[in-house]
Amino acid sequence: MSGFFEYRDPIPVEDGIRARTRRGSIGARWWSRRFVDLIEASGDTGRLQRGRAYARKGQVIDLKVAPYEVTARVQGSVDEPYEVAVGIDALSEVEWRAVEGELASRAVFRARLLAGEMPPEIEDVLAELGLSLFPESAAGLHLMCTCPDYGDPCKHAAAVLYLLAEAFDDDPFLVLQWNGRTKEQLLTALRRLPAASPDPVDADGADDEPLSPSGFWTAPTGLAHLRERPPAPPVPPGFILRVAAPPPVRIRRRELTDVLAPAYEALASASFDFDERRDDG
């Protein structure tokens, strides 16, 4: 009789959080799919299916992402909602300083993060430091639910995990926040740390020997000249307004950056039209 209530229909929630995905897989971006694959790799199929149904019905009342832990309340078949917590072995302060230093030293990553984008290659940066955004397996997720089901995850925790994946779709910086770094903390560190300066010596050691008159016009012999350089991502309009610290200036009670943003958009549009006319001509 201890599990009797678990098989009753859940009590409907008027303003619950509903998953946007009505059928099929949940999670659209690379980081949320990586998280869902982690969940579904070893979870009980039946409980995961019921968890998706709970997420789509709106049984999750609230969901809060904080460093190291996600908490939520899930309405089941009894009057009192169940309390769910999902913990993670997040990165330490020392590890985060190493990550921030590495990201700041790479101009493309630095620019894209400051522009509010999450480059997929960030996983490669962490891997080079022996770190990861997500645990290697679902066993690295520390799940707790006040329901009497001992499944791991139970359907209530599964509903929270699926909605957390969609929250990652909406704001990828929540992945970093769960790992111990808020978006504001990371961007502040990237602005504070010095950007990498070009190194006049080739990284492959082709220029280790002193430069001589006979070797001045000699083509490089290392592998550096064969390496493909990926094109830099396009700079979005108003990029400087988002990267630079806003000046303490207001115009008719509006931030200066808000006033200038339409002008940057108009200039970008005019430049695009000019390039098209030049190409047509």
Q: How would residue 94 be classed by pLDDT, with cut points 50, 70 and 90? A: very high
- Lowest average pLDDT, out of 73-77, 166-170, 245-249, goes to 245-249
**According to the per-residue pLDDT averaged within each range, which of 4-13, 18-27, 138-147, 155-164 is highest?**
155-164
Q: pLDDT at position 263, please?
A: 72
Tell me the per-residue pLDDT of 189-214, one tens digit each, with 9 for 90 and over: 999 987 655 444 444 444 444 545 55
- Lowest average pLDDT, out of 16-20, 147-151, 251-255, goes to 251-255
Q: pLDDT at position 101, please?
A: 93
Average pLDDT, the chain: 79
Tell me the per-residue pLDDT of 110-128, one tens digit each, with 9 for 90 and over: 888 988 888 878 888 899 9
Which tokens go with 234? Answer: 């396009």
Query: Is the separation of the CB atoms in 71 and 85 below 8 Å?
Result: yes
pLDDT greater than 70 at residue 2: no
Q: pLDDT at position 135, please?
A: 87
pTM of the model: 0.66
Alpha-carbon distance of 33 to 236, in angstroms, equals: 26
Q: How would residue 223 be classed by pLDDT, with cut points 50, 70 and 90? A: very low
Tell me the per-residue pLDDT of 24-64, one tens digit each, with 9 for 90 and over: 788 888 888 889 999 998 888 999 999 999 999 999 999 99
Q: pLDDT at position 174, please?
A: 93
Q: pLDDT at position 25, please?
A: 81
Task: At 144, give phi and psi (nearest 5°).
Answer: -140, 135
Q: Percentage of the chain surpassing pLDDT 90?
A: 43
Helix residue ranges per DSSP H, the chain: 30-40, 45-57, 93-104, 107-114, 122-128, 155-170, 173-178, 183-192, 239-243, 256-280
Contacting residues for 200 by C-beta, under 8 A, at least 6 apart: 207
Q: ∠ at Cα 16 (76, 147), nearest 5°?
A: 25
Q: Indicate if the alpha-carbon torsion angle 51, 53, 59, 63 is positive or negative.
A: positive
**According to the per-residue pLDDT averaged within each range, which of 124-128, 239-243, 261-265, 271-275 is highest?**
124-128
Alpha-carbon distance of 51 to 81, in angstroms, equals: 15
Mean pLDDT of 81-104: 93
Q: How would residue 22 be classed by pLDDT, with cut points 50, 70 and 90? A: confident
Mean pLDDT of 174-198: 86
Q: pLDDT at position 271, please?
A: 57
Which tokens go with 158? Answer: 């599964």
Task: At 253, give phi and psi (nearest 5°).
Answer: 70, 10
